[in-house]
A and B are shown apart, each in its own frame.
Chain A
Amino acid sequence: MKITRKDFLRISGLGLLAVAGRKAVRAVAERTSERASEQTSAPFAKQVRWGMAIDLQKCRQKDGCDRCIKACHSTHNVPQFSDRAHEVKWIWKEPFKNVFPAAQTGYTREFFGNLPVLLVCNHCDDPPCQDVCPVKATWKREDGVVTIDFHRCIGCRYCMAACPYGARSFNWLDPRPAIATVNLDFPTRTKGVVEKCNFCEERLAKGLGPACAESCEEKAIVFGDLEKPDSEVRRLLRSRFAVQRQPELGTGPAVYYIV
């Protein structure tokens, strides 16, 4: 049998492809089986569902107060960029009329419209960001915290498009130079990944509450277990009228606003 040069190249090319394909399949298979075994081992406390209630009236008591914002952003090494386009923020204020566009009439707008509302990630029951992420870099933990693996994020920003609450920020440039003092207990991020409020999961692991709630002198932010009927947050939600942002989207926010 005579083998032409073209045939030779074709056969060796196919052979190489087959070897590479086998390697890839094996790598993927290993990864998936590894993850499967890990997931069954030691989950987060299943009985807990972390949530938050923000008392807007208490929050307004001190004009221009930004203690919680400062506390969060310094705890988590959130960079401060002056350019609005490149802004990174985990917790911030936005006028009432933008946050609850449907919950107002022409008359309430006069009074409420420009009042500030504190915003964080809603840590949804059914987060759209989790479903769209192509690499499982963001997911909801058993205890309800929606978190991000900064090592895995490929920076496609699909989660930013999917989040109906604008909770997510992207690192358009290296954040390091824009951090005044670095907190050694929390990593900074690298350029090209998405970040957002993590409900202070690193503090929860140590038995502490979120930094924003702790820093608020008016106790306007109440954090706790939504599954526990006698938790402070549940008691508050029983006694006062509270709303969620855009509940009609079916995302099930875990952040409640007492109005």
Chain B
Amino acid sequence: MSDRPLILAGLTLFVGLVTTPIWHGALDRKAALTAPPIQLPAQEKQCVAPASYMRSSHMQLLEHWRDEAARDGRRQFVAFNGKIYDKNPTRTCVTQCHTDRKEFCERCHDYAGVSDPDCWNCHNDSQRTSRSAP
């Protein structure tokens, strides 16, 4: 078959492109496997859920809060340790604890390679820091 070299070249190119993340990570010296230092809240020691859960599922928790507060009028969240919180991301999360979104949210999002959260397009933080000006 005369097409063989052409097909093989195409296949190699395809496999190469698909595996970009792997070899890019291997070649890039800066990409480290250690978690980045993030700024933890000064006064609070415990989040509304264990850190491991928050790390993986904060988005689901926030979504759940939103649906319950807006649709069912249930605005109080009873945490695993019995503490009660307002389901209010602006007041409960951002103003009281995670005041620096650059050092907390975005640093970790960068590390994990997920796009920056757009919460602040609507939910206000007092500093109104905008990373990429809209």
Contact = CB atoms under 8 A, between A and B. Distances in A.
Interface in A118-156: 139, 141-142, 147, 149-151
A192 to B, nearest CB: 11
B102 interface: no
A187 B124 contact: yes
Q: Is the interface of A mostly helix, strand, loop or mixed?
A: loop
- With a 10 A CB-CB cut-off, give which of A43, A147, A150, A176 has the most chain B CB atoms: A176
Given A41-B72, A42-B72, A43-B72, A185 B66 contact: no
B68 A185 contact: no
B70 A188 contact: no
Contacts of A189: 122
A38 B67 CA distance: 9
Given A151-B66, A174-B134, A184 B71 contact: no
Given A41-B72, A176-B134, A184 B124 contact: yes
A38 B72 contact: yes
Counting contact residues on chain B (CB < 8 A from A), the size range is: 20 to 34
A182 B73 contact: no
Interface string B64-83: 00111011111100000000
Contact of A205 (B73, B95, B122): B73
A188 B67 contact: no
A46 B23 CA distance: 60
Interface of A: 38-39, 41-44, 77, 139, 141-142, 147, 149-151, 174, 176, 182-185, 187-190, 205
Given A41-B74, A141-B73, 6 more contacts: A38-B68, A38-B71, A150-B122, A184-B90, A188-B122, A190-B122
